[in-house]
Amino acid sequence: MARARIISPAKNAMQSGRGRRRRWLLEYEPATPRAPEALMGWTGAGDTLNQVRIWFDTLDEAVAFATKEGFDYTVVEPQVRTAKQKSYADNFRYDRIRG
């Protein structure tokens, strides 16, 4: 039976906005370990499911798909983003730590 995980990936460092980050991704966990290929030295695995990534608009759709297909799945909840209070004037405070 295939194992899958459902995640809401974080934005990468090249993205400034948070748009389209509410999507959920279902990806399969590798069934075989990765190993270097003998001739070229490329890293590969024996199964092809680790190449499949399915995007869903909601968590419920991803869970329904995994349940319908009979997958063992785990849901990885996204970390809650905490807003830090910032002030431009804090850059010029006399008691700030210089680094």
Residue 92 lies in a domain: no
Residue 99 lies in a domain: no
* pLDDT for residue 99: 58
Residue 87 lies in a domain: no
pLDDT tens sequence across 53-86: 999 999 999 999 999 999 899 999 887 777 778 8
pLDDT tens sequence across 25-52: 999 888 888 888 888 888 888 788 878 8
CATH number, domain with residue 41: 3.30.160.190
Q: Answer yes or no: are the C-beta atoms of 70 and 42 closer than 8 Å.
A: no
Q: Answer yes or no: are the C-beta atoms of 31 and 49 closer than 8 Å.
A: yes
* pLDDT for residue 62: 94
Residue 72 lies in a domain: yes
Alpha carbons 44 and 58: distance in angstroms, whole number = 31
Residue 34 lies in a domain: yes
pLDDT higher than 70, residue 98: no
Strand ranges, E, within 1-88? 3-7, 24-28, 35-36, 43-44, 53-56, 72-76
The boundaries of the domain holding residue 67 are 3-10+20-79
Residue 66 lies in a domain: yes
Domain count, the chain: 1
Residue 61 lies in a domain: yes
Q: Answer yes or no: are the C-beta atoms of 10 and 78 closer than 8 Å.
A: yes
